[in-house]
């Protein structure tokens, strides 16, 4: 199937102007570059939740697990347990990963599993036609909250730093080059890579004017320091109209959970024997 | 003695389960068939625990109401269980804790004199029991040495004191010889899964399958197994699916509450055709219910869990031997047909101890169906006659493997097309027909006895107690082992046309009975029990006689 | 014209659902009974959407294959649906986008000339339709004004242009008069719940019940309602239980995947006797399946979800009128018997539009059973003949209200006692018997027609299409509205002994059929559909004739 | 029932020496004191998960919801939605609240619901006989990890600060007075109060020697500053043997989610009318 190129024959059904196109584009180029640098595309698996973002699974001629809403991350973890060498990338939504399945996200960070999580953070439920998500601003009027929400957003960058992710970044769909670069770095990083991508939703929530005005790439930021990363993270609370730093906030090194399964090989032929010995001991 | 029972009781935290196992070993060492039931409330220390160890010269898997020897670590045990003692039976008790008409062993005194820790008290009682049963000290010594690699000396000392303070009451007239292997139901399931090719086990602890997790974690290294305990059961199920995509042969274990959380993933596995084995250990529900007691309340839930319709395998083994066999086969069949397979256990089976008989029945061969060369380009969901498509793992060189929870085409790409939807739905169900056909090669319905008057129909861990009851009443037992797809033909053949059919279940709404009625079988009466405690032989015999005079 | 259909098609994001509703209003304004089916894929823009609006002088709730007017916003609509047009039917289309034999309206040109935004295109088509149907401009004007409080002017302008460019083709010979209220199934459910006393609605969005959440959130202020959209469906269910403990009358809504996540909470509600209403909107499964298409695949899952055994109510209304009635009653019955009540809807019902008839049937009185003075000390789970205990909310002055997921005694304190366990299990099921008795006062099985040759048995949203099919074939319809506890007696009476029984279901394994067989009913044939699309009248008639010549 | 006193007739089945006794004791005294200060005990609801800790529900003559494993918090949220005046206290376990139901905990903090969450953090699954939890130290040998875990613990204090809890504290079962005081303050605090109580498990994990040595009450700490609270939180990572600050880390003020439901009264009598009007509009 991949002979046909990286983009599959599936019909694209995102709205015109949707920020998902930008992520798709950056992702495609990142993969192509990694491919030309020697990465075997056979070993890439794209895992998604359910939502507009998740159509990524259909659109690429790559191994994919088009999972269920909120549960991409544990499915990805299972793949890594099976084969620690796989390059597993989760494309998840903000409703998906910050609401329905938040726990899994934090546990992937805690375990520092060697995979990449890209959150298509349009700050709205796109596919279910526009309800607030955990990163929608306070007072957001969505279809489930027509008079405005009564809860301020999470700061996922801070949460993931706290939970132990070893690569934490924020992207913006209208900063294509940086996004591509970040996705590449994330995939190559050994450990849990997390990118919160500010994505515009053309139909239900499009703050691109604010983003265009507010995003900036901090200079002289020490990426190896959790403290500086935390400080950077707290510059924007996903709510107020303040400056929004984008880029790689933190990159560190620590043991990877699935390494304990590296080299584990089930010795099937000798199993009958071992079972026999076990039972013998129980006589 | 051909058939006798020992009850040992005390408080939680005093090692009653362990003590029961040692007694079981002792009797096993004389070549008896063993069954042990362990009864405990959901707490860690205190409360009343007891084990009933039964030994017989024939195969057994149920306890009896009456016991021959009562071993009491405390007064409560005497109060609660003296009524069970058959005439002429022996009581052995801690004379520092209670008074009774029997062999008193001053355990506190002994422990004090030996400087032994409290946990060794039951060794004293075991020693006393061995002497009372006419078991030679050497046999006991050997077993204690094996069972207590740590603290051997002190346990031996205390046991010897008990032994010496006791007197012979019974006669074990069998030679000291190796018995069958003694395993818990969960161990049998674990070993069966391993035999079937298990490479990963993923679970979140929940009684009564926690000990399966513990067992497999313990042997992880020996078998090159990957054992993972994640954040919750949703993660368990999804990790299992991911692992299956990555080429693992994977099982998960849980009980009802955890299974609820797995149901969404179960449907995903069904739709995406990711094989997975689910060990569902039933306990008394609804909800948290009685966490450490038994039930057969989840049969219909297991058959119908998750939205929509897809093929699955549901089996309910009756004892350790069947659990061993069917766990292995469930795994093979799950992978062969790329479906979820549920092994319905319960507290009785999972935490009971049994003498294991390894059936010599032929195992199904796993037809590994990786994509051949003719399968280029690879299509994960290629239509075939059987509904089963070649399954390539990720990564497979040159293959793009697309797994999908939406309706999808043969490539695994999402579709909303009406015709493709109908075809995929049919594919999912066609696998069930192929599975049914394959199951035709198995003994899917177990029968016992010849009586044409009365057929006792039951399922799961009620098998052995029904068998003994049938023998007493001159009845037959018909027991489906596979519960989905229901082996209607085999069942009909096995049932024949008895004068009366009584269905025995450990639930309150007669779930198997409702399945049978759906297939047009007459059910004359049901015998139901839903207090968390398994039937004893005597109890079931009485209950059946009440409905079938 | 007594019975005719209009199909309007175009791309997602062009407001096809809205346009369909306006056409429905137009026809409603002439006193017709209306049914509208809306077909769309799971995406926000692009893709093909269409609505079929049917109007008739008699009560309807199904679409027909053939349409009388085809309104095409694009070429695709013509390609896909021209075959549906009955001889002599009219095509009205955007002549700037396609070519056809009919009334072409140059919509792009009109929009450009009027400086109107793209979303107004369908107003042009609606205007053209109105003229073609012989509807007076004033009627259309009134409805557009009402339907477009924003953008009224521009929509009116475009509609007028369409109107003027069109020509009369049909004759609506009914006086312009008020029709019945036109509501979607979800609106009917919401209004019914409100009527039954709903005070809180908690849900996580999921097609096809998202629009119920939206509707109730919209009217929150008017009705003093509390609407909450939490982090996921597990939280939804648990919050609902907590809210019920605090005295709310609460409902939740979801579809299969979310219902999976609620099953553990469902069992908790069952065990703890916390009432809750669950609106379960079925869509094509398994798993994510076809999110925006219909199914009746969750019947057995809904009946058996969660471990263990407890009483529940499962109803499946057929149209908006029944949904209105049974939503109200489900809430009342849930609270009266302190049980979970599941309303099984599906995409067809939830998102279809219907003319609502408010049944004058007597409603059950809610017997509020707060603790009286004789109940001191208060016991949450006091044993009673019916199994129903007085329910005190938290806080209740002087009462300690203890709710528990474990087996518990009358006070709500955990127990592991065998006898208490059995008693509590019996209490849980006794409520089901009391519920069955109460349901005896209701029309739990709906029947239609007199033919003794053939009985069509169906459930839920297939009701109306079966009714029309039965009329065509001279058959009868027997349709259980309550599916659990199954109204066996009423069903048996209603069914009688027809020469043949054909069961019609929107699933692949004939789930209702299996329930009927369990009660000993003969099923001669099944007509199943599982491609996500509801039956049209013609289609079902043909399918039934295939199996019943 | 409460005539008999605050402690119910239920038989206590915790192991001798279990840290739960200390929490029970502190809780009892906190409630008694609040009662004597005018709190109506009728308005207190104790909500628990499942685990040893959860037996609290049985042991008190108080309204209680003995919920299911990991789901105490959303049940408590439902109570608050029903009646914002209730004093709802969740006694939850570390397996319960940090593993099975972590998401709910964070969302309660995000919404700043006015309730109290006391985590009986024995850093082990007690009732299921000793498996590791999300706060067990790295390498913990439990029954599910006989060769030691491969994942470091979460820092729940930091996570909850990040998620928006407005009262964040850490207690220790062998600091009874402080614990009682903290529970009282937590209950009276308006907003989400969170206390992570280091509890010893006599049977499966008893680091009381380390705790006794390491815990200290920081002086001069500014409780109104999130930053200082974060700094304090990072002094101990639930893993290494470092000093363990205990006490109230942070207390702040922000809007409470359920306030939007204050005063909402369903007007049942006029409903038929309103429904009628709605339907009239649909003709
Ligand atoms: C268990 C479950 N609940 C709800 C849904 C319905 N659903 C599908 S997509 C979606 C929201 C998607 O939002 P987000 O994750 O932000 O993705 P986006 O569409 O914005 O890319 C929901 C609620 C579902 N499929 N499964
Ligand atoms: C859904 C579900 N999964 C698993 C269990 C089994 N279970 C009961 S208590 C418990 C762990 C309790 O640990 P923790 O929350 O730390 O409480 P502790 O016993 O230590 O106080 C588990 C896993 C359950 N009851 N429900
Ligand atoms: S709804 Fe929003 S996120 Fe979804 S495809 Fe359209 S623009 Fe993109
Ligand atoms: S197991 Fe641990 S937490 Fe549970 S009661 Fe015993 S000491 Fe306490
Ligand atoms: Mg989103
Ligand atoms: Mg714990």
Return the residue of A nearest to C42 by Cα: A127
- Please state the rounded mean pLDDT for residues A8-26: 97
pLDDT over 60 (residue B366): no
Per-residue pLDDT, D193: 98
Does C133 reach chain D within 8 Å, measured CB to CB?
no
Nearest to B414 among A58, A267, A271 (CB): A58
Query: Which ligand 1 atom is nearest residue A20's CA?
Result: 21
- Residues from chain C contacting residue D77 (CB–CB below 8 Å): 230, 235, 238-239, 242
Pairing of strands A247-251, A167-172: antiparallel
Question: How would residue B370 be classed by pLDDT, with cut points 50, 70 and 90?
Answer: low
Domain A3-282: give its CATH code: 3.40.50.970
Termini Cα distance of chain B: 32
- Measured at the alpha carbon of residue A94, what is the angle toward residues A89 and A95, in degrees to the nearest 5? 120
User: Do C98 and C33 share a structural domain?
Assistant: yes
Pairing of strands A44-48, B250-254: unpaired
Question: How would residue C181 be classed by pLDDT, with cut points 50, 70 and 90?
Answer: very high
Distance CA D205, CA D188 (A): 32
The CA R_g of chain A, rounded to the nearest whole Å, is 20
Distance CA D241, CA D210 (A): 8
> Which of residues B442, B469, B502 is at a domain's end?
B442
Does D228 reach chain A within 8 Å, measured CB to CB?
no
User: Do B188 and B336 share a structural domain?
Assistant: yes
ipTM greater than cut 0.90: yes
DSSP secondary structure string for all residues of chain D? -GGG-SB-SSPP-PPTT-THHHHHHHHHHHHHHHHHTT--GGGEEEEE-SSSGGGHHHHBSSEEEE--TT-HHHHHHHHHHH-TT-EEEEEEEHHIIIIITHHHHHHHHHHT-S-EEEEEE-SSBTTTT-B--TTSPTT--BTTBTT--SSPPP-HHHHHHHHT-SEEEEEETT-HHHHHHHHHHHHHSSS-EEEEEE--BTTTB--HHHHHHHEE--SS--TT-HHHHHHHHTT--SSSS--EE-EEEEE-----GGGGGTT-----TTHHHHHHHHHHTT-
What the block records as the tokens of C465 is: 């299409």
User: Do C451 and C436 share a structural domain?
Assistant: no
Distance CA C476, CA C488 (A): 18
User: Do B536 and B392 share a structural domain?
Assistant: no
Query: Tokens 């926000």 — which residue?
Result: C44
- Residues from chain B contacting residue A265 (CB–CB below 8 Å): 224
User: Do B308 and B280 share a structural domain?
Assistant: yes
Ion ligand 5: residue ranges with CB closer than 5 A: A 93-95, 122
Q: Which of B502, B461, B442 is nearest to B478 (CA)?
A: B502
Does D97 reach chain A within 8 Å, measured CB to CB?
no
Does A150 reach chain D within 8 Å, measured CB to CB?
yes
| Nearest CA distance, D20 vs chain C (angstrom) | 18
Distance CA B403, CA B271 (A): 9
Per-residue pLDDT, A183: 98
- Residues from chain B contacting residue D125 (CB–CB below 8 Å): 205
Pairing of strands C200-203, C250-254: parallel
User: Do B359 and B348 share a structural domain?
Assistant: yes
Host domain of residue C484: 445-547
How many residue contacts between A and D have a Cβ separation below 8 Å? Answer: 59
| Nearest CA distance, D34 vs chain B (angstrom) | 31
C172 in any annotated domain: no
Whether D282 and C197 lie within 8 Å, measured CB to CB: no
What the block records as the tokens of C3 is: 């019975």
B463 in any annotated domain: yes
| Nearest CA distance, B256 vs chain C (angstrom) | 5
Whether B532 and C416 lie within 8 Å, measured CB to CB: yes
pLDDT over 70 (residue C155): yes
Query: Which ligand 4 atom is nearest residue D122's CA?
Result: 3
Per-residue pLDDT, B334: 98
Check: CB of residue D172 under 8 Å from CB of residue D152. Answer: no
Counting DSSP H helices and E strands in chain C, the numbers are 18, 21
Q: Is the CB of A203 under 6 A from ligand 3?
A: yes
B170 in any annotated domain: no
Per-residue pLDDT, A40: 96
- Please state the rounded mean pLDDT for residues D203-225: 97
Does C231 reach chain A within 8 Å, measured CB to CB?
yes
Per-domain residue ranges for chain D?
3-282
Query: Could you tell me which chains touch chain B, where touching means 3 or more CB pairs under 8 A?
Result: A, C, D
Distance CA D38, CA B516 (A): 62
Residues B168, B173, B178, B182: is their CA dihedral positive or negative? negative
Distance CA C515, CA C517 (A): 5
Distance CA C547, CA C457 (A): 14
Per-residue pLDDT, C108: 95
**B41, B257, B282, best to mutate for ligand 2 pocket (most atoms within 8 Å of CB):** B257
Query: Which ligand 1 atom is nearest residue A99's CA?
Result: 15
What the block records as the tokens of D145 is: 């990890």
Does D151 reach chain A within 8 Å, measured CB to CB?
yes
> Which of residues B442, B472, B494 is at a domain's end?
B442
| Nearest CA distance, B216 vs chain D (angstrom) | 9
- Residue of C375, C402, C415 to mutate, interface with D, max D Cβ within 10 Å: C402
Distance CA C13, CA C52 (A): 17
- Please state the rounded mean pLDDT for residues C316-327: 98
Distance CA A11, CA A110 (A): 37
Q: Which of D59, D46, D49, D56 is nearest to D11 (CA)?
A: D59
- Please state the rounded mean pLDDT for residues C215-242: 98
- Non-local (6+) Cβ contacts of D213 within 8 A are none
- Number of the ligand closest to the Cα of B205: 2
Question: How would residue D2 be classed by pLDDT, with cut points 50, 70 and 90?
Answer: low
Check: CB of residue A60 under 8 Å from CB of residue A88. Answer: no
Per-residue pLDDT, C366: 57
Does D193 reach chain B within 8 Å, measured CB to CB?
no
Query: Could you tell me which chains touch chain C, where touching means 3 or more CB pairs under 8 A?
Result: A, B, D
Q: What is the pLDDT of residues B35-44, one digit of tens each?
A: 999 999 988 8
Q: Is the CB of D156 under 6 A from ligand 2?
A: no
Distance CA C165, CA C161 (A): 6
- Non-local (6+) Cβ contacts of B401 within 8 A are A63, A64, B245, B378, B380, B392, B393, B394, B412
pLDDT over 90 (residue B369): no
Question: How would residue B363 be classed by pLDDT, with cut points 50, 70 and 90?
Answer: low
Max alpha carbon distance in chain D (Å)?
A: 76
Per-residue pLDDT, A125: 98
What the block records as the tokens of A139 is: 């007072």
Neighbouring CB atoms inside 10 A of D16's CB total 10
- Residues from chain B contacting residue A43 (CB–CB below 8 Å): 395
Return the residue of D nearest to B226 by Cα: D145
| Nearest CA distance, C117 vs chain B (angstrom) | 30
- Residues from chain C contacting residue D45 (CB–CB below 8 Å): 245, 394-395
pLDDT over 80 (residue B200): yes
Four-point Cα dihedral D227, D228, D231, D236, nearest 10: -130
Question: How would residue D255 be classed by pLDDT, with cut points 50, 70 and 90?
Answer: very high
Percentage of chain A exceeding pLDDT 90: 95
Q: Which of C133, C142, C145, C218 is nearest to C174 (CA)?
A: C133
How many residue contacts between A and C have a Cβ separation below 8 Å? Answer: 70
| Contact residues of ligand 4, CB 6 A cut-off | B 44-45; D 14-15, 18, 20, 52, 122, 126, 201-204
Distance CA B219, CA B208 (A): 19
C-alpha C307 – ligand 2 centre gap (Å)? 17
Percentage of chain B exceeding pLDDT 90: 91
Nearest to B243 among A42, A81, A279 (CB): A81
Domain total of chain C: 3
pLDDT over 60 (residue B361): no
Pairing of strands B525-528, B250-254: unpaired
User: Do B521 and B460 share a structural domain?
Assistant: yes
Nearest to B308 among C285, C517, C518 (CB): C285
- Residues from chain C contacting residue B270 (CB–CB below 8 Å): 286-287
Per-residue pLDDT, B367: 57
Question: How would residue A268 be classed by pLDDT, with cut points 50, 70 and 90?
Answer: confident
User: Do B340 and B276 share a structural domain?
Assistant: yes
Query: Which ligand 4 atom is nearest residue D53's CA?
Result: 3
Residues B228, B231, B232, B235: is their CA dihedral positive or negative? negative
What the block records as the tokens of B273 is: 């055709």
Whether B309 and C508 lie within 8 Å, measured CB to CB: yes
User: Do C227 and C367 share a structural domain?
Assistant: yes
Whether C308 and B289 lie within 8 Å, measured CB to CB: yes
Which alpha helices (H) appear in C115-254, and where do they start and end?
A: 121-132, 137-147, 152-165, 185-196, 210-223, 233-245
User: Do B542 and B422 share a structural domain?
Assistant: no
Round the average pLDDT of chain A to a whole number and report it.
Answer: 96
Check: CB of residue A196 under 8 Å from CB of residue A170. Answer: yes
Check: CB of residue B203 under 8 Å from CB of residue B209. Answer: yes
- Residues from chain C contacting residue D274 (CB–CB below 8 Å): 222-223
Q: What is the pLDDT of residues B41-97, one digit of tens each?
A: 988 888 899 999 999 999 999 999 999 999 999 999 999 999 999 999 999 999 999
pLDDT over 80 (residue B375): no
User: Do C208 and C231 share a structural domain?
Assistant: yes
What the block records as the tokens of A97 is: 């990963």
C477-496 residues touching D, CB cutoff 8 A: none
C239-258 residues touching A, CB cutoff 8 A: 257
What the block records as the tokens of C390 is: 């007085």
Q: What is the pLDDT of residues C42-60, one digit of tens each?
A: 888 888 999 999 999 999 9
User: Do C280 and C188 share a structural domain?
Assistant: yes
Q: Is the CB of A193 under 6 A from ligand 3?
A: no
| pTM, entire model | 0.98
Q: What is the pLDDT of residues A49-106, one digit of tens each?
A: 999 999 999 999 999 999 999 999 999 999 999 999 999 999 999 999 999 999 999 9
Per-residue pLDDT, C212: 98
Higher-pLDDT residue of D4 and B256 is B256
Phi/psi at D217 (5° precision): -100, 110
Nearest to A110 among D106, D154, D259 (CB): D154
Instruction: Identify the CATH number of the domain in which residue C498 sits.
Output: 3.40.50.920
Q: What is the pLDDT of residues B333-345, one digit of tens each?
A: 999 999 999 999 9
Per-residue pLDDT, B179: 86
Instruction: Identify the CATH number of the domain in which residue B39 sits.
Output: 3.40.920.10
Return the residue of D nearest to C398 by Cα: D42
What the block records as the tokens of B133 is: 């049963």
Residue A274: HSE in the Cβ half-sphere, 13 Å Cα cutoff: 19
Check: CB of residue A11 under 8 Å from CB of residue C43. Answer: no
- Please state the rounded mean pLDDT for residues C197-209: 98
Q: What is the pLDDT of residues B289-313, one digit of tens each?
A: 999 999 999 999 999 999 999 999 9
> Which of residues B392, B425, B442 is at a domain's end?
B442
Question: How would residue D268 be classed by pLDDT, with cut points 50, 70 and 90?
Answer: confident
pLDDT over 80 (residue C371): no
- Non-local (6+) Cβ contacts of D43 within 8 A are C395, D85, D86, D87
Round the average pLDDT of chain C to a whole number and report it.
Answer: 95
Check: CB of residue D171 under 8 Å from CB of residue D197. Answer: yes
Max alpha carbon distance in chain A (Å)?
A: 76
B176 in any annotated domain: no
C130 in any annotated domain: yes
pLDDT over 90 (residue C360): no
Per-residue pLDDT, B549: 80
What the block records as the tokens of D156 is: 């729940």
Does D155 reach chain A within 8 Å, measured CB to CB?
yes
Check: CB of residue A156 under 8 Å from CB of residue A119. Answer: yes
What the block records as the tokens of B269 is: 């596995």
- Please state the rounded mean pLDDT for residues B467-494: 97
Round the average pLDDT of chain B to a whole number and report it.
Answer: 95
């Amino acid at each position: 199937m991949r002979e046909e190129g990286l983009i599959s024959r599936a019909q694209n059904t995102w709205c015109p102007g949707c920020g998902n196109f930008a992520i798709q584009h950056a992702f495609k180029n990142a993969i192509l570059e990694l491919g030309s640098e020697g990465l075997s595309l056979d070993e890439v698996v794209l895992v998604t939740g359910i939502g507009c973002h998740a159509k990524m699974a259909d659109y690429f001629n790559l191994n994919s697990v088009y999972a269920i809403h909120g549960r991409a991350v544990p499915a990805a973890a299972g793949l890594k347990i099976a084969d620690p060498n796989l390059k597993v990338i989760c494309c998840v939504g903000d409703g998906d990963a910050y609401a329905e399945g938040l726990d899994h996200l934090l546990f992937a960070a805690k375990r520092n599993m060697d995979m990449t999580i890209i959150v298509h953070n349009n700050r709205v439920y796109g596919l279910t036609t526009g309800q607030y998500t955990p990163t929608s601003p306070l007072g957001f009027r969505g279809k489930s909250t027509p008079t405005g929400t009564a809860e301020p957003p999470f700061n996922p960058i801070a949460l993931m730093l706290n939970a132990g992710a070893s690569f934490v970044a924020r992207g913006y769909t209208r900063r294509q080059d940086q996004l591509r670069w970040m996705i590449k770095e994330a995939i190559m990083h050994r450990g849990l890579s997390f990118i919160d991508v500010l994505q515009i939703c053309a139909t239900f929530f499009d703050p691109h004017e604010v983003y265009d005005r507010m995003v900036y790439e901090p200079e002289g930021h020490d990426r190896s320091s959790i403290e500086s990363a935390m400080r950077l993270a707290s510059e924007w609370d996903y709510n107020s109209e303040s400056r929004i730093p984008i880029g790689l906030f933190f990159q560190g090194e620590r043991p990877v959970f699935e390494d304990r399964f590296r080299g584990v090989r089930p010795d099937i032929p000798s199993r009958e024997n071992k079972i026999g010995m076990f039972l013998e001991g129980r006589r | 003695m051909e058939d006798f029972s020992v009850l040992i009781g005390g408080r939680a935290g005093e090692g009653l389960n362990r003590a029961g196992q040692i007694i079981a070993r002792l009797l096993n060492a004389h070549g008896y068939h063993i069954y042990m039931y362990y009864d405990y409330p959901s707490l860690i220390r205190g409360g009343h625990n007891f084990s009933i160890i039964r030994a017989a010269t024939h195969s057994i898997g149920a306890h009896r109401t009456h016991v021959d020897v009562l071993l009491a670590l405390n007064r409560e045990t005497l109060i609660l269980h003296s009524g069970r003692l058959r005439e002429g039976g022996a009581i052995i008790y801690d004379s520092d804790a209670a008074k009774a008409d029997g062999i008193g062993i001053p355990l506190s005194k002994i422990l004090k004199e030996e400087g032994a820790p409290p946990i060794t008290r039951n060794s004293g009682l075991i020693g006393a029991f061995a002497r009372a049963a006419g078991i030679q000290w050497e046999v006991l010594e050997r077993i204690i040495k094996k069972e207590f690699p740590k603290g051997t000396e002190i346990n031996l000392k205390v046991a010897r004191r008990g032994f010496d303070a006791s007197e012979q009451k019974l006669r074990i007239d069998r030679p000291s010889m190796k018995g069958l292997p003694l395993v818990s139901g969960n161990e049998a399931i674990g070993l069966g899964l391993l035999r079937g090719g298990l490479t990963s086990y993923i679970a979140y602890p929940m009684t009564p399958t926690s000990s399966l997790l513990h067992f497999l974690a313990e042997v992880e290294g020996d078998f090159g197994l990957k054992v993972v305990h994640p954040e919750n059961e949703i993660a368990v199920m999804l990790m299992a699916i991911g692992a299956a995509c990555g080429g693992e042969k994977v099982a998960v274990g849980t009980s009802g509450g955890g299974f609820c959380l797995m149901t969404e993933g179960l449907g995903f596995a069904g739709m995406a055709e990711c094989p997975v084995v689910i060990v569902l250990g039933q306990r008394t529900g609804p909800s948290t219910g009685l966490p450490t007691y038994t039930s057969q309340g989840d049969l219909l839930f297991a058959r119908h869990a998750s939205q929509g319709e897809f093929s699955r395998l549901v089996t309910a083994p009756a004892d350790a031997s069947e659990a061993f066999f069917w766990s292995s086969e469930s795994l093979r069949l799950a992978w062969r047909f790329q479906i979820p397979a549920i092994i319905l256990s319960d507290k009785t089976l999972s935490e009971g101890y049994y003498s294991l008989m390894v059936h010599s029945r032929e195992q199904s061969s796993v037809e590994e169906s990786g994509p051949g060369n003719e399968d280029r380009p690879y299509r994960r969901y290629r239509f075939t006659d059987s509904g089963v498509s070649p399954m390539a793992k990720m990564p497979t060189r040159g293959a793009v493997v697309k797994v999908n929870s939406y309706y999808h085409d043969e490539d695994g790409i999402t579709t909303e097309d009406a015709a493709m939807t109908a075809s995929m739905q049919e594919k999912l169900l066609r696998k069930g027909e192929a599975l049914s056909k394959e199951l035709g090669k198995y003994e899917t319905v177990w029968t016992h006895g010849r009586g044409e008057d009365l057929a006792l129909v039951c399922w799961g861990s009620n098998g052995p107690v029904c068998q003994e009851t049938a023998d007493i009443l001159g009845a037959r037992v018909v027991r489906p082992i596979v519960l989905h797809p229901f082996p209607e033909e085999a069942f009909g053949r096995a049932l024949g046309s008895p004068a009366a059919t009584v269905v025995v279940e450990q639930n309150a709404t007669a779930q198997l009975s409702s399945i049978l009625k759906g297939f047009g079988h007459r059910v004359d009466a049901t015998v139901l029990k839903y207090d968390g405690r398994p039937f004893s032989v005597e109890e079931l015999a009485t209950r059946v006689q009440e409905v079938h005079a």
